[in-house]
Amino acid sequence: MERMTPLIETRGLTIGHNRKPLIGGIDLRLCRGQVLCLLGPNGAGKTTLFRTLLGLIPPVGGEVALLGQPLSALSRTDIARRLGHVPQALATPFAFSALDIVLMGASARLGPFARPGKPERARAMAALARLGIADLAQAEITRLSGGQRQLVLIARALAQDAAAIVMDEPTASLDFANRLQVACAIRALADAGTAIVLSTHDPDQAARLGDAAILLNRDGVIATGPIQETLTEARLTRLYRVPVTRSLGTDGRMHFH
């Protein structure tokens, strides 16, 4: 029974700010090992949806459940146990080490005054190792490349031991090589069981990484469902309000122009 409980589920969710609805009718269901890609033009409401899923702003209507529990009944620590967060970029001027940053995730379950101990350090190191960056543990975060910093942020979410992670444009500021490396790391996490919701402005990336997609613009939810059926020419044209064509590469993957 537990295996069937979605990690994230929304029912009739309306998101918005200060009780003013932005988008309604959001019905999501995300299970173990799935990657759900959120696509939409600037200002559509992707960050607003993430902040709602994380319990940082209240829904204007409808419900969010994490592992079957209504979000409204969960404390911040309970939410952190269920849902990790990878922001677009790390905004810190401080010379934290990569390990310091990941320890923040590993300590998310501790009380506000508890100090991380051996188990938290072990969890943090294991998360760095899973992303192939254990050798960067002592490196100063300000000296890492954008791609390495993004992997550290993903390791921080992983060290939280949450079953699901939301990622706000995790590859937005990265060059081509770093984008591929981070995308591979994300897919590997999902293949190992983590559920991931990510926003992206790149339909090719969504086609490569995603199992499902949700398309949002100011008109609302344009489509949601399995990736192949959702990323159609007609729907992307409607989403972005420019003509979009879809082709199949020699690798069998969908590409969009």
Ligand X SMILES: Nc1ncnc2c1ncn2[C@@H]1O[C@H](COP(=O)(O)OP(=O)(O)OP(=O)(O)O)[C@@H](O)[C@H]1O
Binding site for ligand X (CB under 6 A): 17, 22, 40, 42-48
CB 4 to ligand X: min, Å: 31
Instruction: CB nearer to ligand X: give 46 or 82.
Output: 46
Instruction: CB nearer to ligand X: give 44 or 131.
Output: 44
Q: What contacts 61, CB < 8 A, 6 or more positions away?
A: 12, 13, 14, 21, 24
Instruction: CB nearer to ligand X: give 45 or 170.
Output: 45
CB 68 to ligand X: min, Å: 26
Helix (H) or strand (E) holding 35: strand 35-39
Half-sphere exposure of 207 (CA within 13 A, CB side): 20
**Quick one: angle between helices 146-159 and 118-130, nearest 10?**
130
3-state secondary structure of 109: coil
CB 10 to ligand X: min, Å: 15
CB 201 to ligand X: min, Å: 7
Q: Burial, 191: exposed, middle or buried (Cβ in 10 Å; 0-12, 13-18, 19+)? A: exposed
Instruction: CB nearer to ligand X: give 46 or 156.
Output: 46
